[in-house]
Structure 1
Amino acid sequence: MSPGENLDPIPDCFILQPPVFHPVIPYVTTIFGGLHAGKMVMLQGVVPLRAHRFQVDFQCGCSLYPQPDIAIHFNPRFHTTKPHVICNTLHSGCWQREARWPGVALQRGASFLILFLFGNEEVKQVPCSRALPQGLWPGQVIIVRGLVLQEPKEFTLSLRDEASRTPVMLRASFTDRTLAWVSPWGFKKLISAPFLFYPQRFFEVLLLCQEGGLKLALNGQPLGSTNLDQQTLERLREVRISGSIQLYCVHY
Structure 2
Amino acid sequence: MAVSGTENDATKIEDGPLSNSLEKPALISPEKEDIRLLAVPFSGRIKGGMRPGKKIIVMGIVDAEPKSFDISLTCGRGTEEDPPPDVALELCARFVDRQFLRKACVSGEWEEPEKPIPYFPFIEDQPFRIEIHCEHQRFRIFVDGHQLFDFYHRVASLRAIDTIRITGSLQITKLG
Same fold (TM over 0.5): yes
* Change over 3 Å in CA distance of 1:222–1:115 after alignment to 2: farther
- Tell me, which stretches of 5 or more residues in structure 1 are unaligned? 1-35, 39-112
* Change over 3 Å in CA distance of 1:193–1:233 after alignment to 2: farther
Q: How many residues align?
A: 138
> Separation in 2 of the partners of 1:145 and 1:188?
23
Contact 1:193/1:223, CA 8 A, preserved across alignment: no
User: What amino acid is aligned across from residue 147 of structure 1 in structure 2?
Assistant: I
User: What amino acid is aligned across from residue 135 of structure 2 in structure 1?
Assistant: Q
* Change over 3 Å in CA distance of 1:114–1:156 after alignment to 2: closer
Q: Which residue, 125, 133, 136 being the options, matches 1:208?
A: 133
Instruction: Please state whether the residue corresponding to 1:234 is helix, strand or coil.
Output: helix
Q: Match for residue 128 of structure 1?
A: 42
Q: Which residue, 133, 136, 142 being the options, matches 1:217?
A: 142
Q: Match for residue 138 of structure 1?
A: 52
> Separation in 2 of the partners of 1:149 and 1:195?
16
Quote the offset at 1:186 in angstroms: 4.6
User: What amino acid is aligned across from residue 37 of structure 1 in structure 2?
Assistant: A
Quote the offset at 1:195 in angstroms: 0.5
* Corresponding position: 1:171 with 2:92: yes
User: What amino acid is aligned across from residue 72 of structure 2 in structure 1?
Assistant: S
Quote the offset at 1:174 in angstroms: 0.4
User: What amino acid is aligned across from residue 152 of structure 1 in structure 2?
Assistant: P
Contact 2:43/2:164, CA 8 A, preserved across alignment: yes
Q: Match for residue 246 of structure 1?
A: 171
Q: Match for residue 19 of structure 2?
A: none
TM-score scaled by structure 2? 0.71
TM-score scaled by structure 1? 0.51
> Separation in 2 of the partners of 1:116 and 1:196?
25
> Separation in 2 of the partners of 1:146 and 1:225?
22
Q: Match for residue 68 of structure 2?
A: 154
Quote the sequence identity (%): 26
Instruction: With a CA cutoff of 8 Å and minimum separation of 6, indicate the structure with the bigger relative contact order.
Output: 2
> Separation in 1 of the partners of 2:44 and 2:89?
15
Query: Superposition RMSD on alpha carbons, in Å?
Result: 2.2
> Separation in 1 of the partners of 2:59 and 2:172?
6
Runs of 4+ in 1 over 4 A off after TM superposition: 113-117
Alignment deviations for residues 39-69 of structure 1 (CA, whole Å, 9 cap, x no partner): xxxxxxxxxxxxxxxxxxxxxxxxxxxxxxx
- Tell me, which stretches of 5 or more residues in structure 2 are unaligned? 4-30, 79-83
* Corresponding position: 1:197 with 2:122: yes
Q: Considering only CA atoms, is the larger Rg found in Structure 1 or Structure 2? A: 1
> Separation in 2 of the partners of 1:130 and 1:114?
24
Contact 1:136/1:234, CA 8 A, preserved across alignment: yes
Alignment deviations for residues 117-142 of structure 1 (CA, whole Å, 9 cap, x no partner): 4xxxx311211011013110111110
* Corresponding position: 1:227 with 2:152: yes
